[in-house]
């Protein structure tokens, strides 16, 4: 799919911006703090209605302005979709082809993106949270239902934890009130885990192939979803039953800790190279290559699931990779994947890329064609 154009009004440091994008490569060059990442963030908003870095949506409204808006035209399956998103101090409004959608899930998924930012190089080395975010971002844009289940799960989890923190309740024998929350937690949690298991199994295939290519056949990459639920036993019954049992058997413990010790919010992906855990035993370079393989696998998976390649957003990552990995990144997208790249410098990008690419210069919230 191709994002043809982008229009911003009062988004971050852009008062007004209108851009045509290359169907192949567009490069945004500029010094620090000029608004390069802001452009990619706005595109992420069109895809996911969620930013990868803003704590609150309202942070994206240009200081002093009443609201922000992001619009774009996406071409997919030979059809054009115009997407509009308006960020108000409280809440968002979205439209597809001019029609307002009341549910975010009717908006999300018209545009698919894979964002690769410097922090993604920590995907394997970093804490489990980074890998859960990876799962949630990708599953979220392919499945609105997943996003819904996740939001519900988090809400219920919060409420359950509030009760767990209130130790007087346990003393007063109010443990029974937990079971109401447990039921909902089990319902949404089991759905989330099932989807994630499926996803990791699929992405495993793609990432193993890619990793093998990058390492010239020397390394075998395997990914496995590690659920806190399934840690010790194989789950023979239904996931839901298993989850329910675990919540019950850990209830006393959970009250002591004041939080819920089991569920998808504690899960992880185990990444292995040649049967060794990369998080623990991998070298820095292996960890980065594994992260790169996983991100590139996302591109292939989206293509497999939705029938078209997503738009690839590379935020300042080329300079973080050595030449061999740069080459793999650029080669693997080739002509097939529309790619937007931000960088502080033009050298380091291959000359060929520059010839093919549309290059924009970003300066203090305005963008000019070079």
Ligand X SMILES: Nc1ncnc2c1ncn2[C@@H]1O[C@H](COP(=O)(O)OP(=O)(O)OP(=O)(O)O)[C@@H](O)[C@H]1O
Q: Does 140 bind ligand X (CB under 6 A)?
A: no
Which CB sits closer to ligand X, 61 or 318? Answer: 61
Report the distance separating Cα 198 and Cα 135, nearest Å: 11
Report the distance separating Cα 254 and Cα 179, nearest Å: 13
What residue 174 binds from Mg ion, ligand X, none (CB within 5 to 8 A, per partner kind)? none
Q: Does 32 bind ligand X (CB under 6 A)?
A: yes
The single residue listed with the structure tokens 């009443």 is 66
Which CB sits closer to ligand X, 35 or 72? Answer: 35
Q: Does 66 bind ligand X (CB under 6 A)?
A: no
Report the distance separating Cα 19 and Cα 87, nearest Å: 20
For residue 312, give the nearest of 321, 303, 320 by alpha carbon: 303
For residue 69, give the nearest of 56, 88, 82 by alpha carbon: 88
Strands 2-11 and 311-315: unpaired
Which CB sits closer to ligand X, 145 or 370? Answer: 370
> Nearest approach, Cβ of 258 to Mg ion (angstroms)?
37
For residue 305, give the nearest of 67, 141, 187 by alpha carbon: 141
Beta partners for residue 225, in sequence order: 269
Applying CB under 5 A, the residues found at the interface with Mg ion are 36-37
Query: Any binding-site annotation on 35?
Result: yes
Query: Any binding-site annotation on 34?
Result: yes
Phi, psi of 23 (to 5 degrees): -70, -15
Query: Any binding-site annotation on 277?
Result: no
What residue 363 binds from Mg ion, ligand X, none (CB within 5 to 8 A, per partner kind)? none
Type and span of the H or E element at 163: helix 144-165
Report the distance separating Cα 220 and Cα 216, nearest Å: 10
Taking CB under 6 A as the criterion, the residue among 4, 105, 205, 344 binding ligand X is: 344
Which CB sits closer to ligand X, 18 or 80? Answer: 18
> Nearest approach, Cβ of 37 to Mg ion (angstroms)?
3
Taking CB under 6 A as the criterion, the residue among 55, 63, 90, 102 binding ligand X is: 63
Taking CB under 6 A as the criterion, the residue among 6, 8, 36, 146 binding ligand X is: 36
What residue 317 binds from Mg ion, ligand X, none (CB within 5 to 8 A, per partner kind)? none
**Closest residue to bound Mg ion by CB:** 37
> Nearest approach, Cβ of 103 to ligand X (angstroms)?
26
Query: Any binding-site annotation on 37?
Result: yes
Query: Residue 231 has what DSSP assignment?
Result: S
Phi, psi of 137 (to 5 degrees): -65, -45
Which CB sits closer to ligand X, 57 or 298? Answer: 57
Report the distance separating Cα 156 and Cα 42, nearest Å: 30
Give the residue ranges of the annotated binding site. 30-37
Report the interface residues with ligand X, using CB under 6 A: 12-13, 30, 32-38, 59-63, 316, 344
Give the residue ranges of the annotated binding site for ATP. 30-37
């Amino acid at each position: 799919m191709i994002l043809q154009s982008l229009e911003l009004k009062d988004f971050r440091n852009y008062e007004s911006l209108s851009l045509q994008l290359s169907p192949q490569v567009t490069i945004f060059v500029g010094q620090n703090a000029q608004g390069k990442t802001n452009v990619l963030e706005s595109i992420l908003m069109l895809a996911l209605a969620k930013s990868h870095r803003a704590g609150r949506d309202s942070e994206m409204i240009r200081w002093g302005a009443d609201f922000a808006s992001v619009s774009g035209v996406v071409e997919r399956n030979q059809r054009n979709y115009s997407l509009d998103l308006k960020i108000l101090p409280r809440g968002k409004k979205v439209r597809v082809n001019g029609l307002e959608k009341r549910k975010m899930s009717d908006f999300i998924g018209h545009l698919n993106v894979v964002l690769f930012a410097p922090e993604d190089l920590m995907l394997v080395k970093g804490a489990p949270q980074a890998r859960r975010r990876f799962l949630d971002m990708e599953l979220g844009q392919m499945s609105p239902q997943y996003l819904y289940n996740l939001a519900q799960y988090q809400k219920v989890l919060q409420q359950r934890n509030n009760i767990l923190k209130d130790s007087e309740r346990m003393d007063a024998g109010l443990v029974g009130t937990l079971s109401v929350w447990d039921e909902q937690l089990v319902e949404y949690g089991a759905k989330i885990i099932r989807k994630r298991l499926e996803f990791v199994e699929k992405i495993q295939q793609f990432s193993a192939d890619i990793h093998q290519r990058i390492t010239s056949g020397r390394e075998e990459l395997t990914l496995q979803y590690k659920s806190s639920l399934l840690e010790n036993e194989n789950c023979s019954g239904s996931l839901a039953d298993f989850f329910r049992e675990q919540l019950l058997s850990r209830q006393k413990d959970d009250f002591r800790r004041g939080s819920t010790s089991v569920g998808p919010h504690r899960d992880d992906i185990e990444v292995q190279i040649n049967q060794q855990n990369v998080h623990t035993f991998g070298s820095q370079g292996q960890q980065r290559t594994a992260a790169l393989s996983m991100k590139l696998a996302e591109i292939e998976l989206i293509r497999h699931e939705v029938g078209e390649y997503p738009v690839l957003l590379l935020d300042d990552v080329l300079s973080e990779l050595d030449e061999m990995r740069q080459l793999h990144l650029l080669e693997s997208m080739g002509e097939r994947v529309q790619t937007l790249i931000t960088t502080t410098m033009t050298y380091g990008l291959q000359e060929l890329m520059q010839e093919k690419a549309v290059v924009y210069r970003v300066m203090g919230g305005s963008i000019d064609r070079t």
